[in-house]
Amino acid sequence: MKRLVSVALYDPDGMVAPFARRTIDELAGPGTTLVATATHPLTPEAAGWVRERGQLIERENVGLDMLGHQLVLGEHPAHEFDEVILTNDTFVLLRPLARIEDRIDPAAAFWGITASREIAPHVQSYFLCFRGAVTRDPLFAEHWPAVKLADRRQTIVDNEIGLSRTLTRAGHRFDVAFHPNAAELTRAQLRGWRHGRHNPRAVVGQWNPTMVLADAALNGHLPVVKISALRFDPFQLGTPALLSELERRYPEPMEGVRAYLERTARAYG
């Protein structure tokens, strides 16, 4: 199988954090063309590490991940690959990717780790995998030249949400690895009401699961933890306790996460 992997990187110190290296190492390998786009110049050590596994493109820090993926797909047309993965360095894998993919319906044309129903149902773009039915569809190829520089919200609406909408309307079904159970759905809705982040009359599920249910990672049901959930804790889940418990339960995947949060805090003040 021929696979293309596009990894969007950002680190204010030009490093590649340990958790991001583990993700890249899981994705790199025989049959894979891996291209990393970095929006901050990497240190010589970090750049060398990436180039041992694939190609490195350094670009201006604009347009979120999608402009980086646009560059990669411009050089490597999707139809030449059996699978295309678009990802970034904003999350920690708590489970091996192979075990995460085991949760996915084999008939799904594209998949991710989590889905959100904010604005419209869509696969969240920090990890997207497109199988051959999509990579060979002209609709997928037509999407990327149209990606434009825009503010954060519009970029998400046009690309993260818009791409899922375009593909599902064309008959491509998606699946995700994390489907909240009834207890988690109730907990998420209550947290949304409590913190005033969503309309209390909204349909259950109209929230970002990686934020409102970050603690579902503790038992492995949510197989990732987003760095932004630990950094900003928008639903007041208690980051210090959550971080400590994740470190206790997942010592290897969580190695270096606390140091990364401390080192980069100044850039997210």
| Residue-wise pLDDT tens digits, 164-196 | 999 999 999 999 999 999 999 999 989 988 876
Q: What is the pLDDT of residue 207?
A: 79
Please check the confidence at residue 119 and state whether its pLDDT lies above 80. no
Domain ranges of the chain: 3-176, 182-268
Largest CA distance in the chain: 52
Please check the confidence at residue 201 and state whether its pLDDT lies above 70. no
- Report residue 246 as tokens: 């994740």
* C-alpha to C-alpha distance for 176 and 125, rounded to whole angstroms: 12
- Find the helix or strand (DSSP H, E) in which 122 lies: strand 122-123
- Cβ–Cβ < 8 Å for 133, 168: no
DSSP 43: P
Arithmetic mean of pLDDT, 151-164: 68
Q: What is the pLDDT of residue 133?
A: 97
* C-alpha to C-alpha distance for 215 and 11, rounded to whole angstroms: 25
- Find the helix or strand (DSSP H, E) in which 36 lies: strand 32-38
The pLDDT tens digits of the residues spanning 207-221 come to: 789 999 999 999 999
- Report residue 161 as tokens: 């949400």
Arithmetic mean of pLDDT, 230-251: 96
- Report residue 43 as tokens: 């240190």
- Cβ–Cβ < 8 Å for 257, 227: yes
Q: Is 228 exposed, middle or buried (0-12, 13-18, 19+ CB in 10 A)?
A: middle
Q: What is the pLDDT of residue 203?
A: 40
Residues in the chain, total? 269
DSSP 119: S
Class of domain 3-176: alpha beta
Distances (CA, A) of 255 to 92, 169, 226: 10, 41, 14
Please check the confidence at residue 13 and state whether its pLDDT lies above 50. yes
* C-alpha to C-alpha distance for 25 and 7, rounded to whole angstroms: 12
Quickly list DSSP for 58-94: E--S-SHHHHHHHHHHHHS-GGG-SEEEEEESSEEES
Please check the confidence at residue 140 and state whether its pLDDT lies above 80. yes
Please check the confidence at residue 29 and state whether its pLDDT lies above 70. yes
Higher pLDDT, 206 or 47: 47
